Structure 1
């Protein structure tokens, strides 16, 4: 048996699979986000441990024999979080999360140093880890002076599970400190934020062993000795492993809290000017590109809170058939935006509202706005040298057929829907645990699931969607100065 643990923003998911990669069971532990000031987003690392304990306790209650047979554990996690520890491995402050934008000034200052783009292959975004440390140095100098270790969220769980300070390439590529092409820490970039390599965890590939489960935890959940903990992956790379998106040209679109258009690459293809992320993949000698939007299902969930209707009810009101855009445009920039704007200060907007703009029209605009934001990422990928022929849909938002029809039509690409099963980050993490424990060939393990159906673009609405996308593109520069001041 093999276990995948995915540390997300809203919860921890633990999944058990067997040697044949059949899912035996899964369980969850809930998390909440603290937003003490506008633009801030934090979590207490102790809550990650508590949520993981809840998930594993539930797995033990439901599948004690299967859990006892686990040989390998893979970790996946939300990326970019700054988890700061002192010399005794005590947490110094709440973790600053991926969607926290307080460090936009520091990010711009680091990005102005040409070494960062040249070495990392990426813009220094406010959500990345390095500018967060610069913010701590500028605003919480007493805490900065005590920092002995900087860990990413899933690697804090690894420390709790194994006692090891270790990370891997895919997650570390999102810090702005990794030489992404060479797959190693950059001493120059660390020095630019007044840090040293000794404050970073040791690096392995995601398929390698990165410690073993501590005996006291193994005893708690009835596991044997010597359970291997894989290097694992950042959440998107882990999802790619779950989806089999590991070969050059394969791609998926993820509709989670954030939205991601992910393309696997057989070589390193950076193009920072396009605001596309060029990161290491979880498998050795592979890389990937991502366009990232900060609010995907988060935008629909916001709309749900405002209207008092559930997200499922809102999308059901749209019916089955894709509608032509109404003329109401929604910008889903509720937390700022990454691809393609790199704008932490921009905020969302509706435009084109009229007396006839009812709840259904607004819901349609929200879904279209996210679809057009993903189209922005597709255009950015094309500028970075990657052309896609189709994508596979994953994430909670992919349960909406209407949304998938909208995305297919906005992208002018077929969207494949996997067969029944959960092929997300927890499943990908479990696959990495299997590889690390058995030495199996990573590509052979990370196969693509069967496609249940393919949603084709609606050719009859192609011109209407293209026109609506043009309105969407014009709206950002039109409101940017008014919104950001």
Structure 2
């Protein structure tokens, strides 16, 4: 048996799979996010441990005999978080998360050094790890002076599981300290951020062994033999492993908390001027290019919270098939935006709201706004020479056929809907565990799922949606100067 643990922003999920990759059991536990100031987003690392303990307890309770056969654990997690530890391995402050924008000025300063983009292959975004440490250095100097190690969120979970400071290439590529081409820490990039290599974890590929489960945890969990912990991956690279996007040109569009349009590449091809992310993949000699928006299903969660109606009810207010674009335009910039704008100041807006507009109208406009933002990502990817001919559709938002048909029409790309539901980051983490425990080749384990259906663009509606996309872009250009972007 193999365990995939995915540390998401809202909770931790664990799935137990067998040698054939079939899910035997799964469990989830929620995690609280604190927002003490505007633009801030933090979590207590101890909450990740408590969540993991609850997940393990449920998995054991559901199927103790299967869990007792555990041989490997794979880890996935939200990227870019800054978890600061002292020399004794104790946390020094809450983890600053990926969607925290407090370090915008520090990011701008780091990005102005031409060496940073050359080394990291990316813009230094405010959400990345390096500018967070610069913010801590300037605003919490006592904490900075005590920082002996900096771990990404899933790697803090690994530290608890194994006692070792280790990270993988894909997650570390989002720090701005990694030479993404050479797949190693860059002394130059670290120096520009006032950091040292000694403060970094040891690096491995995601499919390689990266420690063993502690003896005390093995005994507490009823395990007799050794359990290998794989290098694992950042959440998007793990999702690519889970859905089989480990070959040149294979890709997916994800409607999760954030939105991602990802394509696997067999060569390093950075294009930081486009705000497209270029990271290492979780498997050797592969990279990923992706456009990222900060609020996809989170936009629906925000609407749900403010209208006082569950997301499921709002989604049921729109039909299964699209008929025409909404007369309302929604800009989904609730926390600023990454691709293609790299704008931490811009904020969300509804334009064209009428006195007759109701929840169904707002829901449609939110789904369309997210689709238009994903189209911005696609255009940025195209400018790098990447032009996918079809994409897998994953994430919670992919349960809405209306949203998928909107997205396919706006992107003008067919969307393949996988059969079944177990192909996300937790599955990718479990597949990496299989590789690490058995020295298996990733290509032999990470097969694409069967396709349930393919949703084609509505050719009769491409033109009207194209006009609305043009207007959507004009609205951003008009509002960005007013927001200070």
Instruction: Output the TM-score relative to the length of structure 1.
Output: 0.99
> Residues 46-445 of structure 1: matches in 2 within 5 Å?
46-445=46-445
Q: Equivalent residue of 2:460, what SS?
A: helix
Moved over 4 A (4+): none
Residue 81 of structure 2 is aligned to residue 44 of structure 1:
no
- Aligned residue for 1:460, secondary structure, equals coil
How many angstroms does 1:323 deviate by? 2.6
SS at structure 2 position matched to 1:315? helix
Deviation at 1:197, TM superposition (A): 0.2
RMSD: 0.8
Distance in 1 between residues matched to 2:55 and 2:375, nearest whole Å: 36
Distance in 2 (CA, whole Å) between partners of 1:59 and 1:83 is: 27
Note if contact 1:215-1:225 (Cα within 8 Å) is conserved in structure 2. no
The residue aligned with 1:33 is 33
Q: Can you list the C-alpha shifts for 1:361-396, whole angstroms capped at 9, x where unaligned? A: 111100000000000000000111211000101111
Residue 336 of structure 2 aligns to a residue whose secondary structure is coil
Segment drifting more, 145-154 vs 345-354: 345-354
- Please state how far the C-alpha of 1:219 moved relative to its aligned partner: 1.0
Q: Residues 393 and 417 of structure 2 are in contact (CA less than 8 Å); yes or no, is this contact kept in structure 1? A: yes
Q: Which residue pairs with 2:463 in the alignment?
A: 463
Counterparts of 1:178 and 1:58 in 2: how far apart (Å)?
37
Secondary structure of the structure 2 residue equivalent to 1:459: coil
Taking the aligned partners of 1:152 and 1:375, their CA distance within structure 2 comes to: 30
Distance in 2 separating the partners of 1:320 and 1:147: 52
Residue 308 of structure 1, CA deviation: 1.2
**Contact map agreement 2:321 2:401 (CA 8 A) in 1:** no
Asked if 2 retains the 8 angstrom alpha-carbon contact of 1:119 and 1:179, the reply is yes
CA distance in 2, matches of 1:438, 1:120: 32
1:78-116: per-residue Cα shift (whole Å, max 9, x none)?
A: 000000000000000000000000000000000000001
How big is each residue's C-alpha offset from its partner over 1:287-346, in whole Å with a ceiling of 9 and x where there is no partner? Answer: 000100000000001001111111111111111220311221000000000000001111
Equivalents in 1 of 2:408, 2:359: separation in Å? 23
Correspondence for 1:15: 15
Structure 1 gaps of 5+ residues are none
Determine the C-alpha separation between the residues in 1 that align with 2:423 and 2:124.
30
Q: CA deviation at 1:193?
A: 1.2
Partners of 1:375 and 1:410 within 8 A in 2: yes
The answer to whether the Cα contact below 8 Å between 1:101 and 1:344 also exists between their aligned partners in 2 is: yes
1:114-141 CA-to-partner distances (Å, cap 9, x unmatched) read 0010011000000000000000001000
Provide the rounded CA distance (Å) in 2 between the counterparts of 1:200 and 1:77.
18
Conservation of the 8 A alpha-carbon contact between 1:86 and 1:147? yes
Q: Please report how far the alpha carbon of residue 221 of structure 1 lies from its aligned counterpart in structure 2 after TM superposition.
A: 1.2
Q: Do the aligned residues in 2 keep the contact of 1:13 with 1:27 (CA within 8 Å)?
A: yes
TM-score normalised by the chain length of structure 2: 0.99
Aligned residues: 485
Q: Deviations over 1:146-173 (max 9, x none)?
A: 0000000000000000000000100000
CA–CA separation in structure 1 for the residues paired with 2:455 and 2:359: 26
CA distance in 1, matches of 2:401, 2:326: 19
